Structure 1
């Protein structure tokens, strides 16, 4: 298995993975424009936008992660937010998720970020078993206030 940056030729295989992730979190009917926009951003090379990594074995993509760096007033070196992490059902429990997290952590450390963090659903028990081994769970509770945005992807 190899962890590498997302490349333009990965779009179709990446979309299958990210669609699986969207379905996992209850968003099964995303329009194609949603995937197109995300993939364009992930492969733009803009270090101030999201970046993507994939786990690859042979011709198959086993997993993906998307992350972004941002400033933080408490940590002068900034932090890294790991927004998305997904592996195929067959790849779970085989070190793919851990390898993707470690690759993001390595990128964050190389860039001088002082921490990496992520969120997960409370009922994502399989994921949380991994997260409890590779990071420290914090006591923070997330609050969110959504705003209407029309038919945007």
Structure 2
């Protein structure tokens, strides 16, 4: 019985590690070390509760929720205002070759300047393509808060990017 649960978790972790890592990279504004830590923390929490979690309808959505909450908890605990620097390592992102690297770096830098909750809302709504209700549940806030935060976050993001985004996309 225990071996079956372990095998089930290993299969789940192997299948979800990539998508979790990509979401974590976006949440962490390209900080791959923090992204790896967030994925490990998420999978660790999932493993501890796997007996109960494996019986729910959508363990992958639960894992995304755990990831976002781990990120927000990390941001609250973080006392230093340090920001990741440098370029996004193309070798770590599976779809890195499909997009313009300068555009990726510009977007990651702009996302990094948003508040953690704003960044989480944008990642969940527009990267993960979740509904307002799913995003609200993952962040433990109301649907109205998600709508308000996403509108304000998009406005801030557009203000930060200004004309630089249109220049990068026009190429």
TM-score under structure 2 length normalisation: 0.30
Q: As a proportion of its length, which structure holds more helix?
A: 2
Q: As a proportion of its length, which structure holds more strand?
A: 1
Q: Which of structures 1 and 2 has the bigger CA Rg? A: 2
Q: Higher relative contact order by CA 8 Å / sep ≥ 6: 1 or 2?
A: 2
